[in-house]
A and B are shown apart, each in its own frame.
Chain A
Amino acid sequence: MRTLAFGAVVVFGAFALAFPFLVNGYWLSVGVLAMFYAIVAASWALLAGYAGQFSFGHMAFVSLGAYTSGLLVKWFDIPIPLGMLAGVLMCGVVGSGIGFVCLRMRGPYLALFTVAFSEVLRIVIVSENEVTGGSGGLEVTPLFHARTDTPYYYLGLALLLGSLAIMQFLVTSRWGLFFRSIRENEDAAAASGVKVVRFRILAFAITSSFAGLAGGFYGHYIGILTPDIGSVDQMGLVVAMAVIGGTESIVAAMIGALGLEFLVEALRSYGQWRLVLFGALLLLTIRFARNGLLALAWQQVMRLGSRRRTRSIGQEAG
């Protein structure tokens, strides 16, 4: 089993590295967006699936990171990496604030609050159009002056892998244990000495920062930034990606994002029906495969594997 997984990673990795040379410009741009969504979905999975905080305000942080960086670079002419860093820090701070404010809220009330927060932010961005460009959009300085999206793709890939590495490290550390204990049973976690307050705020701060990073990357790639990126429907897309992939695994959520983003584009000819399809897929997954489709597929693979083994044992014995 292990060698199979390792082999898959190698193949996948090689494909990912060679991707820009295998596809045309259109699919390359899809790849860039896929990298973006993967970071967002993975960080949401970390917050909701792993730490158990079902926040629907995640896209607000993507938006915040994007607009912060875009506006700072536009007004103060600072280098883009600095702008993106400012976006990340802004999201970390605001994320901590949200985490703090939501401390006494559990479950659906946290979800409600964060959805409201997300919409308020979007409304402010739309209303203050002199500053933000409103619904018409904000022109954001592009990161690279290249004829193709190739540099964006590799940067996105690097950011994704870096984010993944950090998140995996967190998940396997004692912090990962504490996050999960809070998800499982907050009272028991407190009685076990886990500083629940600190870790709930941390969960928000960390995951919001990743969202801000993704947002900054997105803004400086897409060139025209609109408030839609922080809309509830975008949140729904990310939720679908993470849930269909699998919310309790960062990697599964990431794969879900990559898969869905490519699927969205592959089904472009179906127009708006794609969204209906994904909505239906989301509902079916929640209803019948709560741990995500990847976990389901893995189960099936394991079952096939053990059946083959017992059959071969039977053959040997018989």
Chain B
Amino acid sequence: MPGSPPLIEARDLTKRFGGIVAVSGLNFAVQQGELIGLIGPNGSGKTTTINLLTGHVTPASGHITLRGRSARGLAPSEFATLRVGRTFQITQLFSRMTVLENMLVPGLARPHSHKPAATATARRHLEFLGLAALEKLQAKNLSGGQQKLLELGRALMLDPEILFLDEPFAGVNPFLRDEIIVLVRKLHADGRTFVIVDHDIEALQRLVHRMVVMSRGEKIADGTVAEVRVNHEVLRAYAGV
């Protein structure tokens, strides 16, 4: 949508860990309705970018705006309340709580939520993800793939306008990968915006419209899948030069 402010935007964002610059002068805007892939070699700052844009890490300098307003200094729980959802590189579940309880935590953390409605919504999402039968199981007893889906479901309970997925395809078998792609497409068609970090470039190319490439904390390419594929900078970054 031309003219309207980006849904979420990073301007000149920088983050240091000790002496290492994880993210340097990042400019990255996400419009509503986009499906973006964020790729780059290891250590390029992809996960840090997600952490910055969801409040898990505070920037050393730069601006973050959410729907046009400054989001700098907001806590992760505030981002969540503002309907920014995320998953983690290593699945972070509430291991000793049941699948349903895992869903109810974000469900009931939302202001003005009630248990019956939240439970119904949770069950609906679980159905969508194919986890409905596992409702009463403890999260730690799920398979790796099921856990990944549950984490997605938990993020969905925020009714997120934008979802950051951190390596959803990592260590996932081809069937589950295809299933995740189908789920993301459906959610995107419903109007949700996605930024997906992963190393599985093939899967992303099938899924996303726009590709952003990072290397050593900087954004080195930003365009359509086709454009990025032939970008010299990108090839060089991956070749390790």
Residues of A within 8 A of B (CB): 174, 177-178, 180-181, 184-185, 187-197
Interface window among B93-101, B183-191, B217-225: B93-101
B56 x A193 contact (CB < 8 A): no
Residues of B within 8 A of A (CB): 54, 56, 75-77, 79-81, 85-86, 88, 92-97, 101, 104-106, 108-110, 115, 154-155, 157-158
CA distance A305 to B14 in the complex (A): 62
- Nearest chain B CB to A123 CB, angstrom units: 37
Question: From B54, which residue of chain A is reached at the shortest CB distance?
Answer: A191
- Nearest chain A CB to B157 CB, angstrom units: 7
Q: Indicate whether A184 sits within 8 Å of B97 (C-beta atoms), given known contacts A177-B104, A177-B105, A194-B105.
A: yes
Question: From B86, which residue of chain A is reached at the shortest CB distance?
Answer: A191
Which residues from B are CB-within-8-Å of A195? 75, 77, 109
Q: Which of B88, B101, B106 contacts A193 (CB 8 A)?
A: B106
Q: Point out which of B86, B92, B115 has the most chain A C-beta atoms below 10 A from its C-beta.
A: B92
Which residues from A are CB-within-8-Å of B105? 177-178, 181, 189, 192, 194
CA distance A177 to B158 in the complex (A): 16
Q: Indicate whether A181 sits within 8 Å of B76 (C-beta atoms), given known contacts A192-B158, A193-B110.
A: no
Question: What are 24 contact pairs spanning A and B, CB under 8 A?
Answer: A174-B109, A177-B97, A177-B105, A177-B108, A178-B108, A187-B88, A188-B92, A189-B94, A190-B77, A191-B56, A191-B76, A191-B80, A191-B85, A191-B86, A191-B88, A192-B158, A193-B80, A193-B81, A193-B109, A193-B110, A194-B77, A195-B77, A196-B77, A197-B75
- Nearest chain A CB to B150 CB, angstrom units: 11
Which residues from A are CB-within-8-Å of B109? 174, 178, 192-195
CA distance A190 to B56 in the complex (A): 9
- Nearest chain A CB to B74 CB, angstrom units: 11
A192 x B96 contact (CB < 8 A): no
Question: From A197, which residue of chain B is reached at the shortest CB distance?
Answer: B75
Which residues from A are CB-within-8-Å of B85? 191
Q: Which of B76, B101, B115 contacts A187 (CB 8 A)?
A: B76
- What 7 A-B pairs come out closest when comparing CB atoms? A193-B80, A193-B109, A192-B106, A184-B94, A190-B76, A188-B92, A174-B108
Q: Indicate whether A188 sits within 8 Å of B88 (C-beta atoms), given known contacts A177-B108, A194-B77.
A: yes
